[in-house]
Amino acid sequence: MDRRGTSRPRGRTRSARLLAAVSVALFALLVSACGGGEGGDQAAAGQAAVGKEQLAKLPEATTYGDLPDAPKDPGTEGTGKVLHPKKDLVVYKSVNGEPIAKLPRKQVNSPTWVPVIAEEGEWAQILLPTRPNGASGWIKATDDAVESAQNDFAVTVHRDDFSLEITENGKSIGEWTIGIGKDEHPTPKGRAYIIASIAETVNTYSPIVLPLSYHSDSHETFGGGPGTVGIHTWPDNSFVGKANSDGCIRVTQEALDELVKLPLGTIVNIV
C-alpha cells in the first residue's frame, strides 16, 4: 500500500520545535499494517576512538535498520527527556562499550527525536527505531552533540479494550476507542515512540500518518518496506472496537487531531 507523503510541522505551542518540518518523499516503503560505566577521560576516549571512516561503516539506526545485538529496553521508568542529534552520533552497546550503529540527524526526512530511558553522567540510554522491537543503545549526550527537551506527554494503547489514551504529566487529556491488528497480524506489545508525522498526499484513508518505532512481528516487509507500525485514521468508522488491521493502530479523526500535536519522540506504551 502506497504511503507517499510529506511531513509538516504540527504541535502544541511549547513543544512545536520537536515536530517534523521537512518533506517526506517515500513513506510508501514504511508503514506495514493498514490493510553504566565510568565517565571522564575514559568516556571521551571511547567516543573519539570511532573515526569518520568507522562511523560511515556503522549501520544507521532508522526504521529500515536491524540491530540484533542491541540491548533490549530494560523497562525502566524513563526520564521524560527527548534528544535530537546535532550530527550523526555513535550508538554504543553500553557505556564505553562496543559501537553498534549511528544515529542520524534525520529519520524519514524528519528530525530525529529519541526518548531517553536512563542516564549515567554524560551518557544517555535511548530507544531506537530499528528492529528488533525494543532495541536500545547508549549515546554521548553532550551539549555539542544533542539538543534536549522535556516531553511531558505519553500515549497508552490498551489492546484488550481497544482504547487509546493521551496523558500529560500523568493526567488524562483524552481517551478514544480504536482498532488494532487482527489475530494473524497483531499490533506488537511494548514501549514504542512516534518517529515522524507524515501528511498523506496519495491515499485518502488518513490525512496524517504517525509511524512508530515498532515493527510488525508477522510482516517482515510490507509493500517493499520494513513493516513499520503506524497510527492513522480510516475512511469510515467500521474499525472501531475491532481487531481488523494488519498491525497498525486505527484511530478516529478526533483522536488523530490530538495525536498529531504531540512531539516527536513521544512514548507510545502498547499493552
Query: Active-site positions?
Result: 232, 248
169 burial type by CB count under 10 A (0-12 exposed, 13-18 middle, 19+ buried): exposed
Amino acid present at 167: T
Say if residues 266 and 155 touch (Cβ distance below 8 Å): yes
| Three cell numbers written together for 140 | 554521548
CA distance linking residue 205 with residue 34, whole number of Å = 9
Torsion of CA 228, 229, 231, 232, to 10 degrees: 70
